Amino acid sequence: MAASSNRRSVMTLYSDPRNPDSHRVRMVLAEKGITVEIADADPTEPGEEVLELNPYGTLPTLVDRDLVLYESHIIMEYLDERFPHPPLLPVDPVQRANSRLFLHRVDEDWFHPMMAILKDGDPDSSRRKVLKESLVRSAPIFGAHPYFMSEELTLVDCSIAPLLWRLPMMGLKLPQQCKPLLEYAARLFKRKSFQDSLTELEKEMRD
């Protein structure tokens, strides 16, 4: 495994072009302007190279010279530490811990339900209903700051953006009372880093 990754002079991200986990890593890469080779892969048949690098065969998988990382949170935090400008997590330990807690809650409350809907569908609409109600309840939070609980974009925003982009394809339309959240989504979608993070398949989600 190490011998394979040692031959690489440029960082490589094995990415599923439709998957939100891969998308949020791509947004971090774009936000930091990191030179990287994006290798699209099929999560059902990731290929021998991915399986050689990652025993779980999961995407995204990042190769940086002799280092191989998988799981999107681990990759995102590594990239933030490896390329510290612009910082996407606070320097202060307390604020940093709070950001990690926000990331966990975003995953538990929104990301995991979204992944289940995208993977298995939602024949009785129960998952979509729960996700929509959670977003509606949280909408006022997004009016307090330009970004999620912050004046600057963070890893939390990089996690939320792929979810909001996929709401239409999940059949979720937020009501007008979610105006702060809808305006927040519009700000994220206009960022160059977000536009650069989109694959052709992801652009088609909104066409």
For helices 126-138 and 112-120, the axis angle rounded to 10 degrees is 150
Spatial contact of 15 and 42, defined as CB atoms under 8 Å apart: no
Using an 8 Å Cβ cutoff, are 146 and 191 in contact?
no
pTM of the model: 0.92
d(C-alpha 40, C-alpha 17), whole Å: 6
Whole domain around residue 48: which residue ranges? 2-82
Note whether 109 and 67 are same-domain residues: no
35 and 124 co-located in one domain: no
Both 75 and 113 in a single domain? Answer: no
In CATH, what number is assigned to the domain containing residue 60? 3.40.30.10
Residues 71 and 117 in one domain: no
Helix ranges restricted to H, the chain: 2-6, 20-32, 48-53, 72-82, 93-106, 112-120, 126-138, 155-165, 179-190, 192-197, 200-204
Same domain, yes or no: 105 and 75: no
pLDDT of residue 84: 94
SS3 83: coil
**Greatest extent of the chain over all pairs of C-alpha atoms, in Å:** 55
Burial 44-77 (b: 16+ CB within 10 A, else e): eebeeebeebbeebbbbbbbbeeebbbbbbebbb
pLDDT tens series, the chain, 207 aa = 333 444 555 899 999 999 999 999 999 999 999 999 999 999 989 899 999 999 999 999 999 999 999 999 999 999 999 999 999 999 999 999 999 999 999 999 999 999 999 987 766 778 899 999 999 999 999 999 999 999 999 999 999 999 999 999 999 999 999 999 999 999 999 999 999 999 999 999 987
Shared domain for 17 and 98, answered yes or no, is no
Sheet holding 11-15, edge to edge: 36-40, 11-15, 61-64, 67-70
- Structure confidence at residue 207 (pLDDT): 74
| Polymer length in residues for the chain | 207
Domain match, 50 and 124 both: no
* Count of domains observed in the chain: 2
How many Cβ atoms from other residues are within 10 Å of residue 142's Cβ?
Answer: 22
Residue 15 CA neighbour count, 13 Å, CB half: 24
Give CA angle at 197 (184, 46), nearest 5°: 130
